[in-house]
Every structure is written in C-alpha cells, then in structure tokens.
Amino acid sequence: MNKIKKGARYFLYTLLTVIIALNLFILLSGRIYLYSGIMKTYAIGKSGPGIYDLDVFPHSTIEQSKDPYLWKKHSRFNKFTFDKFERKYHQRLGTKAFLVFKNDTLLFEKYFGSHNQETVSNSFSAAKTVISLLIGIAIEEGKIKSVDEPVGNYLPEFNENRRNDVTIRNLLLMAAGFDWEESGSNPISHAAEAYYGDDLYGLVTRQYVVEKPGTKFNYQSGDSQLLGFILQKATGKSISEYTEEKLWKPMGAGHKAFWSLDKENGDEKAFCCLYASPRDFSLIGLLLLNQGNIRGKQIAPKWYIQEMVKTPTLATEENIKNLRYGWHIWTYKNDGNPVYYCRGFRGQYIMAIPSKQLVVVRLGMEREDNFVIPESKENDRKFHQKYDERVGHSPDLFVYLKMAEKIEKEIYQNERRTKRTKS
C-alpha cells in the first residue's frame, strides 16, 4: 500500500513539474498561442489540425449563389466500383470524398463515413490557390497594378529592413526569402502560431528576409497570408467579402462557405481554412480547367491562369530546378499531360487535367510524404530525367490520378459498348 502511495505521489510530482515547466516555457518564450493550441487539440483528444475544425475557431460566412451551378450527370454515373487495393488505399488515408468530372459532367461521386454532399470541410492549403485567383481578379480590375509591385506599396512595414525588394510575384511563387518556419507538426513553428494564434498581421509583418527574393522556392504559408492582407488593402474588403462577390456567387456555389479567422471579427487565415462542400470545391477545379470561364462568363482572367500554372526557374532545396510550383498552384508535368492542382495539408486535392478535360476532387484525413529522389539515385542522370518532375508531389496524387483515369475509361468504354449493342 505504501509503495502505491509513493508511486502515486511520484507521478503527481512529475506531472506538476511538467506542467510548471511547460507554462514557464510558454510565458518566457512569448508563445501564448500554445495555450489555444493545447485546448483545441490535446485537451479534446486530438493531436493536431483537423478537417472538421470549423467550430473550433471564429469564422466568417460566404453566401452561396442564388443561381447554383447544375452539374450534368453521365448516363452511367457511379457505374464503377473500387477494387480491393483502391478500397484499402482510401481507408488507409481516410478519404472522405472522391469526385470525378468530365468537364461539366459528373462521372463518379463517393463519400465515406458521415461525409456527404453538404458536408463542409477544411481546405487547408488548397485555399492558397483561391487567394491567387483573387489576386488575378484584383489585377484585372485595376485594384492591384501588377504582380511586380513591391509589397511595401500596400503594407508599409515592408519598406524597410531589406524587405522593400519583395514583390507580389515573389509571394505568389513562394520565393520571398523570409525566415518563416513551415511545419504541420512542430507546435512552435510560425505555421502553428498562424493556425492557433490571434494576431496574423503582427506575425507575418515581423518576418525578415534571409535569402534574396525571387531566387529560391521555399514553401511558406506566411507568403499566402501577406497576399491576403494585400487583397484587403487593395480592395477595401475582407477576403470573405471579395471571395463571395468575385468567385463564390459568380461560379454558382450551391452552399455557404466559411473562412476561419484569427479572432472574433478578425482576419481570415488566407494560408488555409476555407470550409466548403465537395461540389463547390469542384467548381474551383472547373474554373482552372476552363481557364477562368464558367457558364460562358470569364470569372478569373484567362491570361492570369495561363501564367499561374507555369513553373519559373527557381532553386529548390533538392538542388533541382522548379518543376512543381507556379503562382500559388501546384503543377505536375505528368510526362507532357500537366495536372494543375490545389493541395491541402491532409490530402485535400482539387485537380484539373486539361488533356482529358477532367476535374478530380479528393478530400480526406491524411496524405503521404512528398516524393524525393532516393540517395542511391542522386547521381543517376537517367533517373533524374525520368523522376525529377515527381519531386515535391505526394505519391497519393499519382494514385488518385490513376483512379480517375480508370473511372473515366470504364464509364466511356461501357457507354460505347452499350451503344454498339443497341445499334
């Protein structure tokens, strides 16, 4: 009995020491946002950000269109069944929605668990592409002069400390050269503070330039947040208001969307956290597929989308040329059949495949780590020639693309077969 009491006391003393040490660290380091992070994750049995965090944070509302887009349905809609490998793959990575469209026609739509057509979930970084589209629209409207304008034209903090050289183009390319630490798992990274903190403007305007702007691709959510503040300054509207007016309603979104804020009546988390339904996310893919045009209306400028999907020459941490990223959009070269897509932290994908006129949306809980060149192949020129275009993309992307192509092939082959039989 005494041993049990001693053990219990030892445990309590240890726990108390850990709690005191943690509090001292938080207070002395100034990372007060960690209290918010702990309460919104570990205290409620979670280990990190989730796709259903909408009510965890304050948020704004983006109203749906009064003239919603009506997707056509193929005559063989959903006449496809995943095989054993595909079912297990979706299960392992926690897929919640998988949709495939042939331009304006829905071929396949599958939901998992309680997720359905009306469920809104977190886009995570797929929202970055939405911010880029809004930048393009603002330029077309003359509210922003050019992608080559200095950031300091809109945010005065960037007229000093070497930051006056940073341009909107640098931000779009994730090549601003800031000292931002990007991490989805490190609780003391800038990305964690952006997600759980309550002062986005202060956080991103405290960044310093540590590399020459415009020279190296370095994925940093702070760049996206700065674009969001530029939009607010240039348009005089919140990101949600501008999204509703220029994208959501014109595209024909059928449901309300929501954008997480850093505090009540605060700023949108432009780097992430647009909550929408699966089919409304699909409209972003359709917009990309048709170079900014939906239902005959040019919503985003064609010239801008043509430029945004290019992959300018930049250095990368893998010491290969940039083949993966444009103006806040991912480009997978795909052996001459490019795939343009938005990507989120938990495997949120909105893909446009022009060569096949396909739009693919996958929403879920996890994604795989990015593809890298194996150490044993680093000096293998032929291997680099074949696989450099895959670097920086998640292998699950390739699997979802194969699934979508298989769905399209089977549906249209069966359609032709049926027509031959009838004739």
Question: Can you list the residues of the chain whose pLDDT is less than 70?
Answer: 1-47, 184-185, 414-423
What is the model's pLDDT at position 200? Answer: 97
Give the tens place of pLDDT for each residue, 169-199. 999 999 999 999 997 667 778 898 999 999 9
* Total Cβ atoms within 10 A of residue 115: 20
DSSP 24-92: HHHHHHT-THHHHHHHHTGGGT--S--TT-GGGS-EEEEPPPSS----EE-TTTT-----HHHHHHHHH
Confidence (pLDDT) at 413:
82
Taking phi over 0 as left and psi of -120 to 50 as alpha, with beta for the rest, 206 belongs to: alpha
Are the C-beta atoms of 292 and 280 separated by less than 8 Å? no
What's the pLDDT score for residue 28?
54
Q: CA 189, 166, 389: angle at the middle one, nearest 5?
A: 70
pLDDT at 21: 60
Answer whether 329's CB lies under 8 Å from 64's CB.
no
61-107 pLDDT, tens digit per residue, is: 999 999 999 999 999 999 999 999 999 999 999 999 999 999 999 99
pLDDT given for residue 240 in this prediction: 98
Question: Do 101 and 107 form a contact (C-beta atoms < 8 A)?
Answer: yes
pLDDT of residue 9: 63
Burial of 410 (0-12, 13-18, 19+ CB in 10 A): middle
Predicted pLDDT at 54: 96
Q: Per the confidence metrics, is the pTM higher than 0.85?
A: yes
